Amino acid sequence: MMSLPEGPNESKLQQISRIRIDDSSRVPVSLWFASSVFWLLMGSVAALISSVKMHNPDFLGNIEWLTFGRIRPVHLDIVFFGWSSMAAVGCLLWLQARLCHVRLPWPLLLSGLAMVWNVGVCVGVMAVLAGHGSSIEYLEFPAYCAPFFAIPALGVLAANVKMYVTKESQHTYVSQWYLLAATVWLPILYVTAMGCTYFGLVQGVSQAITNWWFGHNALGLWVTPIAVATAYYLIPKVTGKPVHSYHLSLLGFWSLAIFYNWAGTHHLTGGPLPAWTITVGVVGSMMMFIPVITVAINHHMTMRGVFHMLKTSPTLRFTVFGSVMYTVASFQGSLEALRSHQEITHFTQYTIGHAHLGLYGFFSMIMFGAMYYIFPRITNNEWSSARLIKVHFWGSSIGVLAYGIGLCWAGWWQGVMMNDPAIPFLDTVAYIRPYLIMRSVSGTGMTIAHIAFAISVWRILSRHHFVMSGPTLFTTTRPAWREFVNEQEKREQAELEAQS
Amino acid sequence: MNRTPFVIFGVFLTIAFSLSGLVLIPNWQFQEHQPVVTAPDGSQYPVPYFGMALQGRDVYVDQGCLYCHTQQVRAKGYGGDIRRNWGNRRTVARDYMYEYPILLGTMRTGPDLANIGARQPSRDWHYLHLYNPQITSAGSVMPRFQYLFRTIKAGELAPSGAIALPPAFLAEGTHIVPTARGEQLVEYLRAQNRTFPLPEAKQ
Amino acid sequence: MFLISMLIWATALLGAVMTVWALAWAVQRGEFRNLRQGAASIFDAGEPIGQQTDFFPGAKR
């Protein structure tokens, strides 16, 4: 038997139990994650095609299924359903199992649900490319795609609740609230929005409100809580410092739950709706300052004194970047909801810049960080190359900053020009064109980063570069612990047999 | 101590609350909407799309026009919509009571289309614009929708329905005719007219 | 219109009352006790407070 690190017996047992919990999520979580990385690449391709088409409309010009009005929603849907949601589910299953101190239930079922979800994205993408999209933002996939997402969402909810009610941990950690809430919200949101939209339950402008009630909440109540939960776990866990204020984190959770719901109608400011619906949206958006500030304070104070770890931990780098961008993008979003601000930026590229600072700068970066932490632990393998990770980090972070800041700047002035009737409309188009080209360049940087990431993921899954004796904390301890885990499992098996 | 029911009930409550507030109440509020009847001939506004315009809406949806064009006019004094002559009044909920799906849009890479039928009533303009936006709007980044047209090899005489392309855009000895979908889309665009005076939209 | 605004206010009031009630109920049940321990609950003797748990591959500790 290999020699084990010295330590009290209790700590050995805790390590063993942690490894066994991580092991239990190996197949399903790897599957959800690997699928999400595949969709990340597909989403990047769709993004680049639509981005280039915006400044060079003749690029792939006369191909109907690749026309801008189809490839652009395909980009959004792949990124939302394929990349973001699948990454979020992987993260949530692993994290909830760990926090509940129970093994992941129903691994086969959860793996099957990942495949169902993948089929849904495939079918939906092909439908939109073939011209069967609905032109309802975030809900472009036709109604027959709904079961492919609704059923897995319910399955994930069931697994999540099962873990929570059978939990062996004594305390509820703040992340668990977010995770549980997100899985309750997603099926309600999706089923209600699809039902209202496709079965004519709402008429006229109420359709638009339903659309943005879903579109905004899908980001705010589904992917955001999961990313916040992940950051709440990973930042303390990687740095070894408990969360600064646990009270604040609870306040943050419930204020998010109450206020984010109402913010969606700011997407319709100035539209043909009763003024009170917009006012509600603006108030909801303003109140979002509360949860955002609590998270910002908490994460910053937790990081205080350990910023040097950003140099040595890839997970921390991505997660802290994402966490900072959460504050930035949320502040921007709250201000953006104000009528005076919307008068200028609504209908411009500013919104697109903001969306990417949020969904990419915040959410995706935290998911990248989480995958850098989780993959080695569920595959018992080490990342093959620090250089690839650095290419990924710098490509993504510089890319999204250039993208977001550039488009917000351009969008602001685009809006100012658009509100001045003395300026011909085509001048606004000519003005933003250089920024649209810059967007394609920064998008290329992000795509290169994604390719580097995909290579890393491919290698860790296919067990290339299996580093047994590296000097990192992970590689020195894990393989040694394996023997111990196997022994413990054998012992339990024997006990079971003896009983029966 | 088990918090599960507490958490689940709480999060369920938050979303049920916003659903009823944002979706169900406005929907109920609009159900009392009726078309405005103009005496004495009894013509009504709004009227549902019918015929080719109705079919054209599907073309508008499947081509994803919404991703660059809005169909809403903001009130006078809020943005430049009315001063840009995109409408003579703001659009209101009643304008959309028959819209299914509603295509308000959120992006103005191109101009607003709520009243494009009133601004550009001519079919010819729409055909030229869709065939190659550079003909009518030089510098536009709108894609060409040439797959909504057929090329016909013909003699001297143009077939009926051929669009009046400037010679520079037309290959020798050919004529360009819109397909059925092209015609439907243009009828839909020409039906975009929300200039009817409504009592609740004074400006 | 009057009916509608009354309905909106009534739902808002109902929501507010329910929120306060839920909060009071949660406090009474002791949901907000022992919060400090919650923050430390993700650490144990195997991965104790003060120990960094993630590094670049190949990096010297």
pLDDT, one tens digit per residue, over B17-62 is 788 777 777 877 777 777 777 766 777 888 899 999 999 999 999 9
Listed by start position, the domains of chain A span 12-463
Q: Kindly state whether C1 is in contact with chain A, defined as any CB-CB distance less than 8 angstroms.
A: no
For A382, the closest of C19, C50, C57 (CB atoms) is: C57
For B6, the closest of C4, C7, C26 (CB atoms) is: C26
Q: What are the tokens at A283?
A: 């108030």
Least confident of A70-74, A194-198, A217-221: A194-198
The per-residue DSSP string of B13-46 comes to HHHHHHIIIIIIHHHHHHTT--PEEETTTTEEES
Residues A156 and A117 sit within 8 Å (Cβ to Cβ): no
Residue A468 pLDDT > 50, yes or no?
Answer: no
Regarding beta strands B174-178 and B43-45, do their DSSP bridges make them parallel or antiparallel, or are they unpaired?
A: unpaired
**The Cα angle at residue B63 between residues B59 and B66, in degrees rounded to 5:** 100
Q: What are the tokens at C48?
A: 């104790």
For B93, the closest of A205, A419, A421 (CB atoms) is: A205
Mean pLDDT score, C43-61: 78
Q: Does an H or E element contain B48, and which?
A: none
Neighbours of A21 (CB within 10 A): 20
Q: What are the tokens at A389?
A: 């990770």
Mean pLDDT score, A113-123: 97
Express each pLDDT in A219-241 by its tens digit.
999 999 999 999 999 999 999 89
Residues of chain B neighbouring C4 (CB-CB closer than 8 A):
25, 28-29
Query: 């933003």: which residue's tokens?
Result: A432
| A-B Cβ pairs (cutoff 8 Å, strict) | 210
DSSP SS3 for A368? helix
Sequence-distant (6+) residues with CB within 8 A of A78 are A39, A42, A43, A46, A121, A125
Q: Of all residues in chain A, what percent are helix, strand and coil, respectively (each to 5)?
A: 80, 0, 20
Which one-letter DSSP state was computed for residue A364?
I
pLDDT score at A5: 55
Closest CA to A107 of A378, A457, A381, A380: A378
pLDDT score at A252: 86
pLDDT score at C2: 64
pLDDT score at B31: 73
Q: Quick one: pLDDT band at residue B144, thresholds 50, 70, 90?
A: very high
Give the chain B residue whose CA is nearest to the CA of C30: B1
DSSP SS3 for A230? helix
pLDDT score at A448: 96
Least confident of A84-88, A396-400, A450-454, B158-162: B158-162
Residue A24 pLDDT > 60, yes or no?
Answer: yes
Residues A98 and A21 sit within 8 Å (Cβ to Cβ): yes
Residues A419 and A343 sit within 8 Å (Cβ to Cβ): yes
> Which residues on adjacent β-strands are paired with residue B138?
none
Q: Quick one: pLDDT band at residue A350, thresholds 50, 70, 90?
A: very high
First to last CA, chain A: 30
Angle between helix axes A289-303 and A314-336 (nearest 10 degrees) is 150
- Torsions phi, psi for A56 (to 5 deg): -125, 80
**Rounded alpha-carbon distances, angstroms, from residue A164 to A93, A95, A97, A340:** 11, 11, 9, 45
Between A177 and A441, name the one with better pLDDT: A441
DSSP SS3 for B78? coil
Q: Quick one: pLDDT band at residue A385, thresholds 50, 70, 90?
A: confident
pLDDT score at A479: 58
Is residue B101 reached through a cis peptide bond, with omega within 30 degrees of 0 on the bond before it? yes
Domains of chain B: 36-190 (1.10.760.10)
In CATH, which superfamily holds the domain spanning A12-463?
Answer: Cytochrome c oxidase-like, subunit I domain (1.20.210.10)
Query: 């239990």: which residue's tokens?
Result: A24
Task: State whether C59 and A312 contact (CB < 8 Å).
Answer: yes
pLDDT score at A477: 53
Residue B156 pLDDT > 80, yes or no?
Answer: no
d(CA C44, CA C37): 12
Q: Kindly state whether C42 is in contact with chain A, defined as any CB-CB distance less than 8 angstroms.
A: yes
Q: Kindly state whether B179 is in contact with chain A, defined as any CB-CB distance less than 8 angstroms.
A: no
User: Which of A179, A472, A477, A488 to probe the C interface (max C CBs under 10 A)?
Assistant: A472
For A270, the closest of B67, B74, B102 (CB atoms) is: B74
> Which residues on adjacent β-strands are paired with residue A295?
none
**Rounded alpha-carbon distances, angstroms, from residue B22 to A313, B106, C59:** 44, 19, 53
pLDDT score at C8: 64
d(CA A404, CA A435): 11
Express each pLDDT in A132-166 by its tens digit.
999 999 999 999 999 999 999 999 999 999 998 88
For A421, the closest of B84, B101, B102 (CB atoms) is: B84
Residue A462 pLDDT > 70, yes or no?
Answer: yes
Residues of chain B neighbouring C3 (CB-CB closer than 8 A):
none
Give the chain C residue whose CA is nearest to the CA of B4: C31
Query: 């709706």: which residue's tokens?
Result: A273
Least confident of A162-176, A474-488, C47-61: A474-488
Between B155 and A254, name the one with better pLDDT: A254
Residues of chain A neighbouring C49 (CB-CB closer than 8 A):
240-242
Mean pLDDT score, A296-323: 90
Residue A327 pLDDT > 50, yes or no?
Answer: yes
Task: State whether A206 and B26 contact (CB < 8 Å).
Answer: yes
CA dihedral A230→A235→A237→A242, nearest 10 degrees, is -110
d(CA A23, CA A192): 36
Between A464 and A126, name the one with better pLDDT: A126
Mean pLDDT score, A238-253: 84
Q: How far is CA A465 from the centre of its chain?
A: 28
Residue A1 pLDDT > 50, yes or no?
Answer: no
pLDDT score at C55: 84
Q: What are the tokens at B169?
A: 């855009």
- Torsions phi, psi for A347 (to 5 deg): 70, 10
pLDDT score at B124: 92
Q: Nearest CA of chain B to the CA of A196: how many Å? A: 9
What is the dihedral sign for C-alpha A416, A419, A421, A427? positive
Residue A267 pLDDT > 70, yes or no?
Answer: yes
Task: State whether C11 and B21 contact (CB < 8 Å).
Answer: yes
Express each pLDDT in B87-102 by its tens digit.
999 999 889 988 889 9
pLDDT score at A435: 95
DSSP SS3 for B149? strand
Percentage of chain A modeled with pLDDT above 70: 94
Sequence-distant (6+) residues with CB within 8 A of A496 are none
Between B140 and C4, name the one with better pLDDT: B140
pLDDT score at A476: 43
Which one-letter DSSP state was computed for residue B110?
S
Residue A11 pLDDT > 80, yes or no?
Answer: no
Between A311 and C25, name the one with better pLDDT: A311
Closest CA to C52 of A240, A303, A315, A304: A240
d(CA A38, CA A482): 30
d(CA B81, CA B119): 13
Residues B110 and B92 sit within 8 Å (Cβ to Cβ): no
Residue A357 pLDDT > 50, yes or no?
Answer: yes
E strand intervals along A295-377:
none
pLDDT score at B203: 59
Residues of chain A neighbouring C47 (CB-CB closer than 8 A):
14-15, 18, 237, 240
User: Average pLDDT over chain A, rounded to whole?
Assistant: 89
pLDDT score at A473: 43
